[in-house]
Amino acid sequence: MASEIRVPPLGESVVEATVGKWLKHEGDAVEAGDVLVELETDKVNIEVSAQQSGVLQRIARKEGDVVAIGEVLGTIGDEASAQAPARQQPAGGVRAPAEQQPAAQVPAGRQPTPVAPAPAEQFAQPAKAVEKRSRETEREEQPAASPLARRIAAEHNVDLAQVQASTPHGRVTKEDVLSYLEQKAAVQQPLQPPTEPPSAPPQPVGTPPSPQAEAERLERALSPVMPEAVPAGREERIRLSRRRQTIAQRLVEAQHTAAMLTTFNEIDMSAVMEIRSRYKEMFKERYDVSLGFMSFFTKAAVSALKAFPQLNAEIQGNELVLKYHYDIGIAVSTDEGLVVPVLRDADHKSFAEIEREIADMARRAREGKLTLAELQGGTFTITNGGVFGSLLSTPILNGPQAGILGMHKVEQRPVVVNNEIVIRPMMYVALSYDHRIADGREAVQFLVKVKELVEDPVALLLEG
């Protein structure tokens, strides 16, 4: 009996998705639980699995289509129903049902000769079983790869087993596949000598050019220069994922709807780095997680938000909503784009709990295992461009939040301390804020508060 493949519930406030990649094709045998198609939503990708075993009879929505909850994506039927039309429609044309065919005339005293079954019917089931086992073996031998990497590899007929993974855990990324394609193109493309346009026959010295030659020269000089066609392999068109489209839309909306402004300061990281150096082994042994900068800045940001609640607020209509809970979004970069999982009730968590939850959320974000609930409801955001080497930047608000704190690279710089020039590990920090909610005075004082607490971790512990 056939069953329909429908778009499942996508999560709170998410009503539509984009068909990302069909992992099965029409006519493929499927088992209950096999992943059939990936759906891309604004925040996470969702896998739709088969509810019964059978054959994928029909794909109703192709890749790139926008679908709503409950919409039919395709149909799964059992093997018997899939093979029935083929047996009922012979190659010679349409055949009437068996009960309408006239019985063959058999002479008296003779029995009709039984007809042997066609070889195709005898061996159809074993062939399908072998094909199914082959597909399962091939799927097991495929290396771990991101959905975007698999999509690009499929479009260019690339065997992922031949692609060298650059990540520590052996997961093939989009960049790995693109690098493989570039190397392959460089090896296969032979060097071609530059071609030169045929030159006109030389004119004898002292002989004036003919009127026809002079006219052709003027025509070439006055003709507009046409752009050369882009050689094959120099460009590639890739459909933007649903997440990348949403990121682009939200960032533009933040700039259009908020009066965004950024203020800067710098922090002497000497005290924090000394604490990390002194206690990192004990901290790692006791809590099974490394002591990083994020816990210090999260604690400092929460204390500053308590002192300046305008930066932990949002505008709803004609009202300003001040929030007295501190759900801090931590920006994480993944192969599919930037995501911001939320650290709930950060004011009630210890340094170890903050570090452990941030590490867990970052890992699951890169594996695509975050839920929609973990990406919603943040009140303030922290982003660390320093992990990529950024020295200074202006972060964009994560609307409708009123503030985002940007951390950057720690760099040894000369500074003046007690009228002496000394070398200290310094970090530039940036606070982007919505000027409709907070004035420059509150924003600058907020950043000064963060600076004071990070530079004096004892005071940070007392604040906590």
Collapsing DSSP to helix, strand or coil, 314 comes out as strand
- End-to-end alpha carbon distance in the chain: 62
Active site residue 439: yes
pLDDT over 70 for what percent of the chain? 73
**Catalytically annotated residue among 65, 288, 345, 439:** 439
Give residue 83's pLDDT: 54
Q: Tokens 């990540």 — which residue?
A: 167
**Helix/strand/coil (H/E/C) assignment for every residue in 65-110:** CEEECCCEEEEEECHHHHHHHHHHCCCCCCCCCHHHCCCCCCCCCC
200 pLDDT more than 70: no
Which amino acid type is present at position 351? F
pTM: 0.57
Assign 211 a pLDDT band (cuts: 50, 70, 90). Answer: low
283-293 pLDDT per residue, tens: 999 999 999 99
255 pLDDT more than 50: yes
Enclosing domain of residue 359: 259-463
- Count of domains for the chain: 2
> Is residue 154 included in any domain, yes or no?
no
CA 367/CA 207 separation, integer angstroms: 77
227 pLDDT more than 70: no
User: Torsion over CA of 76, 78, 80 and 85, rounded to 10 degrees?
Assistant: -10
Same domain, 274 and 416: yes
- Residue 182: in which H helix or E strand, if any? helix 174-188
Total count of residues recorded for the chain = 464
Collapsing DSSP to helix, strand or coil, 263 comes out as strand
> Is residue 290 included in any domain, yes or no?
yes
Collapsing DSSP to helix, strand or coil, 434 comes out as strand
407-439 pLDDT per residue, tens: 999 999 999 999 999 999 999 999 999 999 999
Name the DSSP class of 169.
T
**Catalytically annotated residue among 156, 325, 348, 435:** 435
Find out whether 330 and 358 touch, Cβ atoms under 8 Å.
yes
Indicate the residue among 115, 141, 167 that finishes a domain: 141
> Is residue 390 included in any domain, yes or no?
yes
Mean pLDDT over the full length of the chain = 79
Same domain, 275 and 133: no
> Is residue 295 included in any domain, yes or no?
yes
What does the DSSP assignment read for 338-394?
Answer: EE--EETTGGG--HHHHHHHHHHHHHHHHTT---GGGGS--SEEEEEGGGGT-S---
Indicate the residue among 93, 109, 141 that finishes a domain: 141
**Which tokens belong to 310?**
């305008």
Assign 99 a pLDDT band (cuts: 50, 70, 90). Answer: very low
Please enumerate in sequence order all residues whose Cβ is within 8 A of that of 335, keeping only pairs 6 or more positions apart, or say none: 146, 148, 149, 173, 174, 366
> Is residue 27 included in any domain, yes or no?
yes
280 pLDDT more than 70: yes
pLDDT over 90 for what percent of the chain? 36
Q: Are strands 313-316 and 319-322 parallel, antiparallel or unpaired?
A: antiparallel
Please enumerate in sequence order all residues whose Cβ is within 8 A of that of 344, keeping only pairs 6 or more positions apart, or say none: 327
Q: What integer is the mean pLDDT of 13-29?
A: 82
Same domain, 137 and 265: no
> Is residue 36 included in any domain, yes or no?
yes
153-197 pLDDT per residue, tens: 877 788 878 888 776 667 777 778 888 888 877 766 555 555 555
> Is residue 406 included in any domain, yes or no?
yes
CA 292/CA 272 separation, integer angstroms: 9
Give residue 69's pLDDT: 85
306-337 pLDDT per residue, tens: 999 999 999 998 899 999 999 999 999 888 77
Collapsing DSSP to helix, strand or coil, 236 comes out as coil
363-400 pLDDT per residue, tens: 988 888 888 788 888 999 999 999 999 999 999 999 89
Find out whether 341 and 370 touch, Cβ atoms under 8 Å.
yes
> Is residue 195 included in any domain, yes or no?
no
85 pLDDT more than 70: no
| 28: CATH | 2.40.50.100
Q: What integer is the mean pLDDT of 76-100?
A: 52
| 278: CATH | 3.30.559.10
Same domain, 133 and 269: no
**Which tokens belong to 4?**
């329909």
- Name the range with the highest mean pLDDT among 16-30, 333-347, 409-423: 409-423
